[in-house]
């Protein structure tokens, strides 16, 4: 099972409007509601890839209750393969299996889970984002999360720590969760930004997956190779920098690779990074080589940009893209 | 008791942002949540004025449940004056009594109550509005509302029919509700727009309270006196046209008056029209003269514009404004 942690889960609302005009009134013509926060997005993609996933983090209040109902709807009522579908054929594109279950192990908090609102201009697809701050989490609730996390680590093949921190959670929270995972011997991927990323890296996670902005904020450099190497020196064993339409740069203990999609694609990049995390983690658990993991991550994230629904991926596009992702190995430079 | 009907209730969210920029991402710095829809706003003001109010209409789903919780919070747990405070001293500004109870008589529907989102630019106070369409109401749910409405009319001194229609409700719905009120002998105020207003007027409500845009849409004229007279000819016994900062023009069977605030005031006009409805209805129930009803409506709506919280009114400002509202009586023109 793969564990994902989302400390600041969200009920994601998408509103379609003809065009967002500041200081005007808009009738929302189309609306959708789904469980969100980066780790929940990662779990949804892992489920489609056939990997059993457990999600933890915080949920509370009326919005938290709606989030959990929608999360329950993601899972098949009766798993079609109770033996587990953890390990599809290594290297192959996962077959079109039924989605694997996503298990809700969220910790209930007194505060209200936040909403995020994506207002999509129908003509252009351009999106305006409004994010509530999230509930104030108490010390007792954080202690309950730590207990739940330790229990879940015992059964986890890998763990992803994802997204922003809600109010009340100390900035070193991810560092604490990274250390527990390393103590438990569970590979840990950290996907956050700012000071929580800086502190988390110092606890030596197996992988981080920053984008160009997050890397620049961390290292002060916008030169991908320099910034990625700097991030490794700060403590991350492997750094997978996502470079948007240019693909990914992976600097790992085993080598350095650049992976690029066959072409630039039009679409909405929302959730592309979360799909990449799902690709990297599923590849790790399946024992794929770095080039195969990167192929999967790039194909998944490109297929997410192409999908008409933000954050979902287009399965046919994914399978078509997978063999066409270009991989280039770099000679390791002197450290 | 005063009855207000809100067929398309809403959970009103207000988000504070530094400035709304299309296609950018925004952290919401301040957030509030309250029960909304015009009839609920009217009830909140009536409650502060000391009038017992019953609200009906539709509510459903998770958002409906939150709306009803917030509505319950409006009412004192133990009414301080169980004998009722229906009739403050006629003509006087209501004394600073404890708020009167607002009773929830909403009909539960299967669909989700809509949300409305007001995004307020912190620097300027300018507001961008996003309104969900509302739940699809079934024929059975509409029949349940009609039954509830008939029962409530039996105990009502006046009724206000407020706001837009949710999907599934026929465009003649307000006309039907106006006819029932007239049959029951309960004075009825209709505050809606477009085709539901046009149909509703033909059923001969006691009062309508259109703004300049709604009047122009109804009559084709932007000249207030001409448009207001035309609206009367279409069936409304009295027409109170709200002319924004210019106050109100009342064309009634008893005469024609213009009422104006002492000065233009800066602020947010959200909810000013609902406060005016509360002023008109409370004045009617208290047996005030037309000039006193109009003074109250104009003072309440001006005090609502002045309030720092959208839709609330500033009580001190209201009491200070009340004696300073200018009233001018027009000679009735030949019909």
Each residue of B31-46: pLDDT tens digit?
Answer: 999 999 999 999 999 9
Closest CA–CA distance from residue A168 to any residue of chain B (Å): 15
The answer to whether position B304 is within a domain reads: no
Cα–Cα distance measured from residue B308 to residue B288, given in angstroms and rounded to the nearest whole number: 29
Residues A269-308: tens digit of each pLDDT: 888 999 999 999 999 999 999 999 999 999 999 999 988 7
B133/A28 Cβ within 8 A: yes
> By percentage, how much of chain A surpasses pLDDT 70?
92
Q: Is residue A49 part of a domain?
A: yes
In a domain, A290, yes or no: no
Confidence class of residue B333 from pLDDT cuts 50, 70 and 90?
A: low
Check if the interface score ipTM surpasses 0.95: no
Question: What does the mean pLDDT of chain B come to?
Answer: 91
Q: Which of A280, A292, A258 is nearest to A206 (CA)?
A: A280
3-state secondary structure B204-246: CCCEECCEHHHHHHHHCCCCHHHHHHHHHHCCCCEEEEECHHH
Answer for the pair B226, B262: CB distance below 8 angstroms, yes or no: no
Q: Are A313 and A303 in contact (CB under 8 A)?
A: yes
The answer to which of A122-136, B20-34, B82-96 has the lowest mean pLDDT is B82-96
Q: How confident is the model at residue B17 (pLDDT cuts 50, 70, 90)?
A: very high
Tell me, yes or no, whether B165 lies in a domain: yes
Mean pLDDT score, A223-250: 94
Chain B residues near residue A62 by CB distance under 8 angstroms: 62-63, 65-66
- What is the percentage of chain B residues whose pLDDT exceeds 90? 81
CB neighbour class for A75 (10 Å; exposed up to 12, middle 13-18, buried from 19): middle
Higher-pLDDT residue of A137, B266:
A137
CATH number of the domain bearing residue B110 = 3.40.1190.20
Residue of A nearest to B270 (CA): A25
Choose, out of A130, A133, A271, A273, the residue to mutate when testing the contact with B (most B CBs < 10 Å): A130
pLDDT at A267: 79
Judged by DSSP in three states, B291 sits in: helix
Least confident among A41-55, B8-22, B34-48, B320-334: B320-334
The b/e string for B111-139 (b: 16+ C-beta within 10 A; e otherwise) is bbbbbbbbbbbeeeeebbebbbebbebee
User: According to the model, what pLDDT value does residue B309 have?
Assistant: 75
Answer whether residue A2 is part of any domain: yes
Q: How distant is the Cα of B61 from the closest Cα of chain A, in angstroms?
A: 10
Per-residue pLDDT at B82 exceeds 60 = no
Are A59 and A9 contacting, i.e. CB atoms less than 8 angstroms apart? yes
A26, A115, A121 member nearest B129 (Cβ): A26
Give the model's pLDDT for residue B334. Answer: 44
Summarised one tens digit per residue, pLDDT across range B234-285 is 999 999 999 988 899 999 999 999 999 998 888 778 889 999 999 999 999 9
The count of structural domains within chain B is 1
Which of A108-112, A235-239, B83-87 is predicted with the least confidence, judged by mean pLDDT?
Answer: B83-87
Of the residues B12, B274, B292, B312, which is catalytic?
B274
Residue A68 Cα, gap to closest chain B Cα (Å): 12
Q: Compare all CA atoms of chain A with the CA of B17 and give the residue at the minimum distance.
A: A130
Provide the pLDDT for residue B332.
66
3-state class (DSSP) for residue A280: helix
**pLDDT band of B86, cuts 50, 70, 90:** low
Q: Report yes or no on A68 lying in a domain.
A: yes
Domain that holds residue A122: 1-160
Strand partners, A13: A33, A117
Distances (CA, A) of A196 to A111, A163, A192, A235, A236: 22, 10, 7, 14, 14
Residue B51 pLDDT grade (very low, low, confident, very high; cuts 50, 70, 90): very high
Helix-strand-coil percent breakdown of chain B, rounded to 5?
35, 25, 40
Instruction: Give the pLDDT mean for A33-61.
Output: 96
- Residue A79: is its pLDDT beyond 50? no
> Which residues of A fall within a CB distance of 8 Å from B22?
20-22, 121, 126, 128
- The answer to whether A66 contacts B62, with C-beta atoms less than 8 Å apart, is yes
Closest residue to B130, CB basis, from A66, A119, A129: A119
Query: B27 to chain A: which residues are within 8 Å by CB?
Result: 131, 133
Q: Which residue of A has its CA nearest to B133?
A: A28
pLDDT tier at A334, thresholds 50, 70, 90:
very low
The answer to whether residue B211 is domain-embedded is: no
Closest partner CB to B15 (pick from A27, A62, A130):
A130
B186-236: per-residue pLDDT in tens?
A: 999 999 999 999 999 999 999 999 999 999 999 999 999 999 999 999 999
Helix, strand and coil content of chain A, in percent to the nearest 5, comes to: 35, 25, 40
Residue contact B24–A121, C-beta within 8 A: no
Q: Which residue has the higher pLDDT, B311 or B8?
A: B8
Average pLDDT rounded to a whole number, residues B4-21: 96
Question: Over the stretch A84-102, which tens digit does the pLDDT of each residue have?
Answer: 445 555 554 445 567 899 9
Arithmetic mean of pLDDT over chain A: 91
Measure B114 CA to nearest chain A CA, in Å: 10
Of A13, A28, A62, nearest to B66 by CB-CB distance is: A62
Q: Any catalytic annotation for residue B230? A: no
Q: For residue A58, what is the enclosing H or E element?
A: strand A53-60
Q: Give CA separation, A256 vs A51, A111, A253, in Å.
A: 27, 44, 8
Q: What pLDDT score was predicted for residue A77? A: 56
Q: Give B83's pLDDT tier (boundaries 50, 70, 90).
A: very low
B93 belongs to a structural domain: yes
pLDDT for position A19:
95
Query: Do residue B129 and residue A25 have CB atoms under 8 angstroms apart?
Result: yes
Give me the catalytic one of A206, A274, A312, A314.
A274
Q: How many CA atoms lie within 13 A of B116 on its CB side?
A: 20
Per-residue pLDDT, B253: 94
Task: Decide if B23 and A66 are in contact by the 8 Å CB cutoff.
Answer: no
Distance from CA of A101 to the nearest CA of B (A): 25
- Residues of chain A found within 8 Å of residue B26, distances taken between Cβ atoms: 128-131
> What pLDDT is stored for residue B77 in this prediction?
56
Contact between B128 and A66 using a beta-carbon 8 Å cutoff: no
Which residues of chain A does B66 touch, with a Cβ-Cβ cutoff of 8 Å?
62
């Amino acid at each position: 099972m793969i564990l994902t942690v989302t400390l600041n889960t969200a009920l994601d609302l998408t509103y379609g409007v003809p065009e967002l005009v500041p200081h005007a009134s808009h009738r929302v013509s189309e609306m959708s509601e789904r469980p969100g926060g980066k780790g929940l997005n990662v779990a949804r993609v892992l489920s489609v890839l056939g990997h059993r996933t457990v999600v933890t983090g915080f949920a509370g209040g009326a919005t938290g209750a709606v989030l959990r109902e929608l999360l329950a709807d993601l899972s098949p009522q009766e798993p079609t393969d109770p033996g587990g579908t953890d390990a599809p054929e290594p290297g192959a594109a996962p077959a079109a299996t039924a989605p694997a279950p996503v298990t809700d192990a969220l910790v209930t908090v007194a505060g209200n889970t936040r909403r995020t609102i994506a207002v999509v201009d129908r003509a252009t697809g351009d999106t305006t984002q409004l994010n509530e701050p999230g509930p104030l989490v108490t010390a007792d609730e954080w202690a309950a999360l730590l207990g739940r996390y330790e229990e879940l680590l015992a059964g986890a093949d890998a763990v992803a720590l994802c997204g922003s921190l809600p109010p009340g959670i100390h900035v070193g929270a991810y560092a604490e969760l990274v250390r527990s995972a390393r103590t438990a011997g569970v590979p840990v991927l950290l996907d956050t930004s700012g000071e929580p990323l800086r502190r988390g890296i110092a606890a030596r996670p197996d992988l981080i997956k920053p984008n160009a902005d997050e890397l620049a904020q961390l290292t002060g450099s916008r030169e991908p190779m320099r910034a990625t190497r700097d991030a490794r020196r700060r403590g991350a064993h492997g750094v997978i920098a996502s470079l948007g339409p240019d693909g990914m740069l992976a600097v790992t203990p085993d080598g350095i690779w650049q992976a690029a999609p066959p072409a630039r694609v039009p679409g909405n990049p929302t959730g592309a990074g979360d799909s990449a995390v799902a690709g990297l983690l599923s590849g790790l658990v399946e024992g794929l080589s770095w080039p195969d993991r990167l192929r999967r991550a790039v194909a998944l994230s490109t297929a997410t940009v192409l999908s008409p629904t933000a954050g979902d991926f287009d399965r046919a596009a994914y399978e078509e893209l997978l063999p066409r992702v270009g991989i280039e190995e770099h000679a390791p430079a002197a450290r």
